[in-house]
Structure 1
Amino acid sequence: MSPAERWSIGELAEFAGVTVKTVRFYSDRGLLPEAGRSSGGHRRYGPEALDRLRMIRSLRSLDLPVPEVGRVLEREDLLEDAIDAQLRELSSQLSALRWREAALRLLQDSSAQDRADRLRIVGAVPSPPNTDSLARFWRRLLPLRLPAPLVSAILEAAVPQPPAAPTPAQVLAFARLHALATDPRVAFCRPDTRNAAECGRPAVLYEGLGEAYGLAAVELRAGRSPAAGDALDCFVAAHASARGLRDTPAFRRRLGGLLAETADPVTGRYWELAGELSDPREPTMGAAHAWLSTALAAHPTAPH
């Protein structure tokens, strides 16, 4: 490269439309190749530096951090990973903004009497909102002896995700759900410690309940009232199998009484709030459980 093809730092800055300070910043970090030095020790750059500088500006316009820009310049195959990471970050930021907007509208539309309380519970939710507190709620509530894959399946079904574009009402429902799940005054009594003799084999129980809830969900989507049938039979069978017993009229009466005695207002409130966050066409596990419990109360002695 002839001296005529070498540019000073000021010339490179002018060609690129940036400041000398910007060129020096990237040069000092080893991102811009130098073509040499002048007799006075000043940096000189060739055309490849202009191409590199334009690439740096393009990458920085995507908000890539400078270290990440350096890695992409060294290995172009990392660009896709960098773009994916930025998209995830942007998605998180947009979710936080949508949540904030809906939260502000909720407070704006609240009465002076409600505003302080709503501000308190909405302000306690992480931004962007996450479901960590709800997952911990269920991990404290579920029996200790459940296999990890079964726990994961239950959490997936039981923990509602924050809506991507929430309404003010959904912000309030999620905030109340978070408040319920993190309330230190809520006492948990695991099914396997409440009455060990009644619990039997928790894994068998919860696997069977999952199937029964699925059948009940079909009935709920169809708008059918609680009734005897396959869903109720599966529900009772799950409880009976977990205890090593048979589905008999006597067992059904006993199970109905047990469910009535152990009905928990905390989980009932949880499912009420979760329903406000879910697709109304998709019944929650709580709705399925309520449908089955009502069906059992109406048909306590008649296996299908």
Structure 2
Amino acid sequence: MSASHEVLWSIGELAERAGVTVKTVRFYSDRRLLPEASRSGGGHRRYGPEALERLRLIRSLRALGLPLPEVRRIVQDEDAAGRVLEDAVAGRLRELGGELKALRWREAALRLVRECPPAERADRLRLIGAVSVPPSTAALARFWRAWLPPRMPARATARFLEVAVPQPPDEPDPAQVLAFTRLHAMTTAPCPAGRQPQPEIHRTAGARGAAALYEGLAEAYELAAPHLRRARQPHPGEALEAYVTAYATACRSPDTRDFRRLLAARLAAAPRLDRYWELTSVVLTPPGDRPRPTPGSADEWLRTALERDNTEAA
């Protein structure tokens, strides 16, 4: 059918049929997103059914929050429209996920300020204000990178950070917000000696030995975790054997009774980060749940099991 026999509408008629303002139609027309069927004798735009369908599609895409450049690509490139739409929707979903996470964090932070005693509000506000929204774990990762031995292999460092750095929950409660902000404050505070205190094993094992150590400790912590979840008392067993083997391998020493006694003494004198792990457990544990095991709580359980093993063997 030729254009002269098609149903044609003025800009106002198209706006009325689409349920939008004339300004909206003119906006998309000026950007050549709406096809014009013809022009009147006075030069006024005339639109056909294709423009109405296009306008409805544009409104739907904009209602999803898609930016105008993405909308243009979808409506103007029919061959790639499906792929472009999928990519645009996926990108928008990622953006919304970050926005929702930020809103949930702000809600929990506001509740934290509202529910705390007035005398503590200034401290709460200082802690909250130091953390980005949504919260970032970059400061925690930097803390541990400075604590680990220099030149430790990148893969081993990445695996360590996966278990040592708690991810903020997507739907935190005020206690989890407070715990994470305290972790951030703890890991960004200046170290009096200029460097985080490190255990002696880092010096004796070296970078590659430390990598093997933490790989073995990860296995030992995983074996100890079920015992912590069931609140079982520390005791010798498979988890302790993996724990001692990790240290013996790093120290290039046989697993003897003398080594176990020396190891227990060295671990008792090593720097402790108990507060870090206590706060980490709060961040990881949903309200009302039993505290989640952490590398810190697993290590404490295994150290106690080692001491008990030494005592029983004496």
TM-score (ref. length: structure 1) = 0.91
Q: How does 1:137-152 map to 2 (within 5 A)?
A: 137-152=143-158
Aligned residues: 300
What is the Cα deviation at residue 5 of structure 1? 2.4
- Does the 8 Å CA contact 2:11/2:22 hold for their aligned counterparts? yes
Q: How does 1:96-245 map to 2 (within 5 A)?
A: 96-185=102-191, 187-191=195-199, 196-197=203-204, 199=206, 201-245=209-253
- Does the 8 Å CA contact 1:34/1:45 hold for their aligned counterparts? yes
Q: Which residue of structure 2 aligns with residue 91 of structure 1?
A: 97
Q: Which residue of structure 2 aligns with residue 257 of structure 1?
A: 265
Moved more, 97-106 or 36-45: 36-45
- Does the 8 Å CA contact 2:149/2:202 hold for their aligned counterparts? no
Tell me: CA distance 1:3–1:190, structure 2 relative to 1, closer, same or farther (3 Å): farther
Q: Which residue of structure 2 aligns with residue 299 of structure 1?
A: 309
- Superposed CA deviations along residues 174-233 of structure 1, whole A, max 9, x for unmatched, are 1111111222236314558x8623557112111111111111112222322111222112
Tell me: CA distance 1:45–1:112, structure 2 relative to 1, closer, same or farther (3 Å): same
- Superposed CA deviations along residues 1-28 of structure 1, whole A, max 9, x for unmatched, are 2165222222211221211111111112
Q: How does 1:63-82 map to 2 (within 5 A)?
A: 63-73=65-75, 74=77, 75-82=81-88
- Does the 8 Å CA contact 1:140/1:190 hold for their aligned counterparts? no
Q: Which residue of structure 2 aligns with residue 62 of structure 1?
A: 64
What is the Cα deviation at residue 121 of structure 1? 0.3
- Does the 8 Å CA contact 1:248/1:301 hold for their aligned counterparts? no
Tell me: CA distance 1:221–1:20, structure 2 relative to 1, closer, same or farther (3 Å): same
- Does the 8 Å CA contact 1:212/1:235 hold for their aligned counterparts? yes
Q: Which residue of structure 1 aligns with residue 296 of structure 2?
A: 286
Q: What is the DSSP-based 3-state SS (H/G/I as helix, E as strand, rest coil) of the residue aligned with 1:30?
A: coil
- In the aligned structure 1, how far is the partner of 2:34 from the partner of 2:277? 58
- In the aligned structure 2, how far is the partner of 1:53 from the partner of 1:191? 66
What is the Cα deviation at residue 84 of structure 1? 1.9
What is the Cα deviation at residue 107 of structure 1? 0.8
The one-letter amino acid of 2:52's match is L
- In the aligned structure 1, how far is the partner of 2:190 from the partner of 2:38? 67
What is the Cα deviation at residue 299 of structure 1? 2.3
- In the aligned structure 2, how far is the partner of 1:77 from the partner of 1:138? 41
TM-score (ref. length: structure 2) = 0.88
Which of residues 38, 42, 45 in structure 2 aligns to 1:43?
Answer: 45
What is the Cα deviation at residue 301 of structure 1? 6.9
- Does the 8 Å CA contact 2:34/2:55 hold for their aligned counterparts? yes
- In the aligned structure 2, how far is the partner of 1:198 from the partner of 1:19? 73
Moved more, 95-104 or 46-55: 95-104
What is the Cα deviation at residue 106 of structure 1? 1.0
- Superposed CA deviations along residues 118-155 of structure 1, whole A, max 9, x for unmatched, are 11001211111222222222222222333323222222
What is the Cα deviation at residue 171 of structure 1? 0.9
Q: Which residue of structure 2 aligns with residue 30 of structure 1?
A: 32
- In the aligned structure 1, how far is the partner of 2:308 from the partner of 2:144? 29
- In the aligned structure 1, how far is the partner of 2:36 from the partner of 2:100? 40
What is the Cα deviation at residue 274 of structure 1? 0.3
What is the Cα deviation at residue 169 of structure 1? 0.9
- In the aligned structure 1, how far is the partner of 2:167 from the partner of 2:59? 37
What is the Cα deviation at residue 85 of structure 1? 1.8
Tell me: CA distance 1:42–1:6, structure 2 relative to 1, closer, same or farther (3 Å): same
- In the aligned structure 1, how far is the partner of 2:255 from the partner of 2:198? 24
- In the aligned structure 2, how far is the partner of 1:219 from the partner of 1:9? 73
What is the Cα deviation at residue 76 of structure 1? 2.9
Q: What is the DSSP-based 3-state SS (H/G/I as helix, E as strand, rest coil) of the residue aligned with 1:5?
A: coil
Contiguous gaps of at least 5 residues in structure 1: none
The one-letter amino acid of 1:154's match is F
